């Protein structure tokens, strides 16, 4: 399968006023569309500067109107925060309005604090996820819903909306360890991982050992990326922007005097560069690093993060320009 390229975006807040912030992001997404990226994946977060796309469906509906070929979707819909019937209807609407360009990522959410603000006990997140996912899939594929569980009970609910893509849009999962890679494989989902090369390799191997479906799922490897005409310029830009992203990522956790227990992000970009989770430099350097990482990891989907922290629209656009002109063709040729 030919190597494809995607985008991941927390849609984390900068110092711009929100109308300008959203407009700049949409202009950048238009550039992703022109440059031949496959899918734009956006995160869902709440009550934190980490995520200004708190309602992914609203944001994605704007993207559907501003792009022509780019696929798009949440990574992930936090299922514990949705009524599953309402979410299934939103999925169908987005898929129909975009004529089948929606990809659907699902998960239980990473933050007990965020779901707690909605009155959800995070201890129930796994069960809520399982029930909600089963209901959404039934709604998308069966035309009606009959379900009885601990949290939801439905009897003969008619479902008028259907997805454009049959039997349903492609499914995605954010994989944090080999066990979650196995869950993704059993559900037939593609996955994206923001991990070291060795960790991505372990997840891909567990997935391949478990997956029994047809076709070749996508194993995505996500990287912070800043490209410039000189390495010094790229490092200066990336270091500055990453500090802002790091502050936003930890803002809500610090407010509650705690820290996430399943992910670790060092305070400086250089540490991310050292373990391979950030790739910063000239196009030639970025190409060589990614070529080696892809070969070792077994990933077949290269996911780029060109917008984070206080990166300006011009800085992100320059990274996209250099990447699409010099890095993408070389990696595809490999």
pLDDT average per 10 residues of sequence, the chain (334 residues): 92 97 98 98 98 98 98 97 98 98 95 95 94 97 96 96 97 91 93 94 93 90 98 98 97 94 90 97 98 95 98 98 98 90
Q: In the chain, where are the structural domains located?
A: 4-75+175-333
Helix axes 56-66, 18-35, angle to 10 degrees: 50
Q: Which two tokens stand for residue 206?
A: 């567990």
For 55-73, give one letter per residue: b (16+ CB within 10 A) or e.
Answer: ebbebbbebbeebeebbbb
CATH tag, 4-75+175-333: 3.20.20.30
27 close to 313: Cβ distance less than 8 angstroms: yes
Q: Are 60 and 42 spatial neighbours (Cβ–Cβ below 8 Å)?
A: yes
**pLDDT (0 to 100) of residue 1:** 66
Does residue 48 contact residue 252 with C-beta atoms inside 8 Å?
Answer: yes
- Residue 104: what pLDDT? 98
Strand 104-107 and strand 171-174: the pairing is: parallel
């Amino acid at each position: 399968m030919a190597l494809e390229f995607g985008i991941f975006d927390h849609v984390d807040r900068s110092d711009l006023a929100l109308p300008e912030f959203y407009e700049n992001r949409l202009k950048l997404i238009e550039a992703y569309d022109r440059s031949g990226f496959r899918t734009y994946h956006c995160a869902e977060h709440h009550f934190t500067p980490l995520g200004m796309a708190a309602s992914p469906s609203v944001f994605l509906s704007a993207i559907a109107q501003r792009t022509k070929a780019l696929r798009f979707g949440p990574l992930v819909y936090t299922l514990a925060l949705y009524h599953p019937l309402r979410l299934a209807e939103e999925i169908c609407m987005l898929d129909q309005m975009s004529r089948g360009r929606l990809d659907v990522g699902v998960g239980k959410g990473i933050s007990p604090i965020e779901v707690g603000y909605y009155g959800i006990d995070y201890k129930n997140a796994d069960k809520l996820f399982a029930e909600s996912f089963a209901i959404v899939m039934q709604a998308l594929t069966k035309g009606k819903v009959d379900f009885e569980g601990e949290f939801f009970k439905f009897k003969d609910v008619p479902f008028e909306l259907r997805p454009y893509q049959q039997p349903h849009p492609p499914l995605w999962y954010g994989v944090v360890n080999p066990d979650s890679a196995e869950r993704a494989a059993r559900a037939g989902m593609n996955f994206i991982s923001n991990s070291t090369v060795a960790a991505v390799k372990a997840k891909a191997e567990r997935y391949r050992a478990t997956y029994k479906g047809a076709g070749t799922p996508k194993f995505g490897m996500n990287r912070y990326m800043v490209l410039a005409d000189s390495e010094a310029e790229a490092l200066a830009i990336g270091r500055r922007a990453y500090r802002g992203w790091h502050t936003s990522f930890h803002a809500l956790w610090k407010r509650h005097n705690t820290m996430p227990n399943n992910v670790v992000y060092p305070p400086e970009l250089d540490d991310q560069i050292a373990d391979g989770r950030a790739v910063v430099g000239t196009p030639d350097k970025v190409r060589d690093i990614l070529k080696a990482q892809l070969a070792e990891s077994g990933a077949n989907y290269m996911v780029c993060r060109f917008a984070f922290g206080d990166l300006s629209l011009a800085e992100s656009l320059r990274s996209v320009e250099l990447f699409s002109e010099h890095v993408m063709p070389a990696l595809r040729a490999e």
